[in-house]
Homo-oligomer: A and B are copies of this chain.
Amino acid sequence: MSDAVSAQVVADVQQFYARHMQLLDAGDADGWARTFTEAGVFAPPSLPEPVRGRAALAAGVRASAAGLAEAAEVHRHVLSMVHVDPRDDGTLAVRSYAQIFATPRGGEPRLHLMCVCEDVLVREQGELLVKERRVARDDRP
Protein backbone atom coordinates (compact mmCIF):
# COMPACT_ATOMS: atom_id res chain seq x y z
CA MET A 1 0.00 0.00 0.00
CA SER A 2 1.61 3.20 -1.22
CA ASP A 3 0.68 6.79 -0.45
CA ALA A 4 1.70 8.07 -3.90
CA VAL A 5 -1.31 9.51 -5.65
CA SER A 6 -1.90 12.85 -7.33
CA ALA A 7 -3.40 15.64 -5.28
CA GLN A 8 -6.18 15.98 -7.85
CA VAL A 9 -7.27 12.38 -7.32
CA VAL A 10 -7.29 12.85 -3.54
CA ALA A 11 -9.30 16.07 -3.91
CA ASP A 12 -11.74 14.42 -6.31
CA VAL A 13 -12.30 11.58 -3.83
CA GLN A 14 -12.84 14.04 -0.96
CA GLN A 15 -15.32 16.10 -2.96
CA PHE A 16 -17.10 12.94 -4.06
CA TYR A 17 -17.46 11.56 -0.54
CA ALA A 18 -18.63 14.88 0.88
CA ARG A 19 -21.43 15.12 -1.68
CA HIS A 20 -22.19 11.40 -1.44
CA MET A 21 -22.68 11.47 2.32
CA GLN A 22 -24.59 14.73 2.31
CA LEU A 23 -27.00 13.24 -0.25
CA LEU A 24 -27.46 10.18 1.94
CA ASP A 25 -28.08 12.16 5.11
CA ALA A 26 -30.51 14.46 3.30
CA GLY A 27 -32.51 11.38 2.34
CA ASP A 28 -32.00 12.05 -1.38
CA ALA A 29 -32.42 8.40 -2.32
CA ASP A 30 -32.13 8.74 -6.09
CA GLY A 31 -29.31 11.28 -5.95
CA TRP A 32 -27.37 9.00 -3.65
CA ALA A 33 -28.05 5.89 -5.73
CA ARG A 34 -26.60 7.71 -8.76
CA THR A 35 -23.26 7.99 -6.93
CA PHE A 36 -22.99 4.22 -7.39
CA THR A 37 -22.48 2.49 -10.72
CA GLU A 38 -25.66 1.14 -12.32
CA ALA A 39 -24.90 -2.31 -10.86
CA GLY A 40 -23.18 -0.96 -7.74
CA VAL A 41 -22.91 -3.27 -4.76
CA PHE A 42 -23.15 -2.25 -1.11
CA ALA A 43 -22.48 -4.85 1.56
CA PRO A 44 -23.59 -3.25 4.83
CA PRO A 45 -23.10 -4.99 8.14
CA SER A 46 -26.82 -4.97 8.89
CA LEU A 47 -27.94 -7.19 6.01
CA PRO A 48 -27.23 -10.85 5.22
CA GLU A 49 -26.91 -10.13 1.47
CA PRO A 50 -25.36 -7.17 -0.37
CA VAL A 51 -27.65 -4.58 -1.94
CA ARG A 52 -27.21 -4.60 -5.73
CA GLY A 53 -28.10 -1.89 -8.24
CA ARG A 54 -29.35 1.67 -8.05
CA ALA A 55 -33.04 0.83 -7.61
CA ALA A 56 -32.35 -1.33 -4.57
CA LEU A 57 -29.86 1.19 -3.18
CA ALA A 58 -32.41 3.99 -3.47
CA ALA A 59 -35.13 1.85 -1.89
CA GLY A 60 -32.84 1.25 1.09
CA VAL A 61 -32.33 4.97 1.60
CA ARG A 62 -36.05 5.68 1.32
CA ALA A 63 -36.76 3.08 4.00
CA SER A 64 -34.01 4.46 6.27
CA ALA A 65 -35.16 8.04 5.79
CA ALA A 66 -38.73 7.11 6.64
CA GLY A 67 -37.56 5.35 9.79
CA LEU A 68 -35.47 8.33 10.86
CA ALA A 69 -38.32 10.75 10.21
CA GLU A 70 -40.62 8.62 12.34
CA ALA A 71 -38.00 8.43 15.10
CA ALA A 72 -37.39 12.21 14.79
CA GLU A 73 -33.67 11.57 14.52
CA VAL A 74 -30.99 12.96 12.21
CA HIS A 75 -28.08 10.74 11.12
CA ARG A 76 -24.77 12.01 9.75
CA HIS A 77 -22.23 9.80 8.04
CA VAL A 78 -18.65 10.96 8.45
CA LEU A 79 -15.60 9.42 6.77
CA SER A 80 -12.13 9.99 8.16
CA MET A 81 -8.58 8.72 7.65
CA VAL A 82 -9.46 8.17 4.00
CA HIS A 83 -6.66 6.32 2.19
CA VAL A 84 -6.74 6.21 -1.61
CA ASP A 85 -4.89 3.38 -3.32
CA PRO A 86 -4.89 3.49 -7.14
CA ARG A 87 -4.95 0.01 -8.68
CA ASP A 88 -3.43 -1.15 -11.95
CA ASP A 89 -6.88 -1.62 -13.48
CA GLY A 90 -7.61 2.10 -13.07
CA THR A 91 -9.94 1.70 -10.09
CA LEU A 92 -9.34 3.31 -6.71
CA ALA A 93 -9.34 1.15 -3.60
CA VAL A 94 -10.29 3.42 -0.72
CA ARG A 95 -10.26 2.44 2.95
CA SER A 96 -11.61 4.77 5.60
CA TYR A 97 -13.24 4.96 8.99
CA ALA A 98 -16.98 5.59 8.84
CA GLN A 99 -18.87 7.03 11.75
CA ILE A 100 -22.60 7.48 12.07
CA PHE A 101 -23.66 10.24 14.44
CA ALA A 102 -27.29 10.41 15.57
CA THR A 103 -29.16 13.38 17.01
CA PRO A 104 -32.73 13.11 18.24
CA ARG A 105 -34.87 16.21 17.89
CA GLY A 106 -34.43 18.16 21.11
CA GLY A 107 -31.87 15.67 22.42
CA GLU A 108 -28.16 15.02 22.74
CA PRO A 109 -26.04 13.91 19.78
CA ARG A 110 -24.26 10.59 20.07
CA LEU A 111 -21.83 8.39 18.19
CA HIS A 112 -24.12 5.65 16.95
CA LEU A 113 -21.74 3.38 15.02
CA MET A 114 -18.03 3.12 14.29
CA CYS A 115 -17.17 1.21 11.12
CA VAL A 116 -14.49 0.55 8.53
CA CYS A 117 -15.49 1.27 4.92
CA GLU A 118 -13.76 -0.37 1.95
CA ASP A 119 -14.74 1.02 -1.44
CA VAL A 120 -13.84 0.38 -5.03
CA LEU A 121 -14.33 3.64 -6.92
CA VAL A 122 -14.41 3.90 -10.70
CA ARG A 123 -14.73 6.77 -13.16
CA GLU A 124 -17.53 6.93 -15.71
CA GLN A 125 -17.68 9.97 -18.01
CA GLY A 126 -15.27 11.70 -15.68
CA GLU A 127 -17.38 11.18 -12.54
CA LEU A 128 -16.34 9.04 -9.61
CA LEU A 129 -18.82 6.32 -8.64
CA VAL A 130 -18.88 3.56 -6.04
CA LYS A 131 -18.66 0.19 -7.75
CA GLU A 132 -18.42 -1.82 -4.57
CA ARG A 133 -18.60 -1.08 -0.86
CA ARG A 134 -18.02 -3.25 2.15
CA VAL A 135 -18.66 -1.92 5.64
CA ALA A 136 -17.68 -3.67 8.88
CA ARG A 137 -18.81 -2.57 12.33
CA ASP A 138 -16.25 -2.29 15.10
CA ASP A 139 -18.66 -3.77 17.63
CA ARG A 140 -18.95 -6.99 15.57
CA PRO A 141 -15.43 -8.08 14.79
Contacts and interface: CB of A to CB of B under 8 A. Distances in A.
Nearest to A112: B109
A16 to B, nearest CB: 5
A108 B16 CA distance: 29
A101 B111 contact: yes
A112 B79 CA distance: 18
Number of copies of this chain in the oligomer? 3
Given A3-B12, A101-B99, A111-B109, A138 B19 contact: no
Contact of A8 (B6, B82, B84, B140): B6
A: interface residue count bin: 35 or more
Interface-central residue, A74, A82, A83, A140, by most chain B CB under 10 Å: A83
Given A81-B79, A114-B76, A18 B96 contact: yes
A124 interface: no
A141 B105 contact: yes
25 contacts: A3-B12, A3-B15, A6-B8, A7-B7, A7-B11, A7-B12, A10-B11, A10-B14, A15-B83, A18-B82, A18-B83, A19-B83, A22-B81, A22-B83, A22-B95, A74-B139, A74-B141, A76-B114, A78-B80, A78-B97, A79-B81, A103-B138, A109-B111, A109-B113, A109-B139
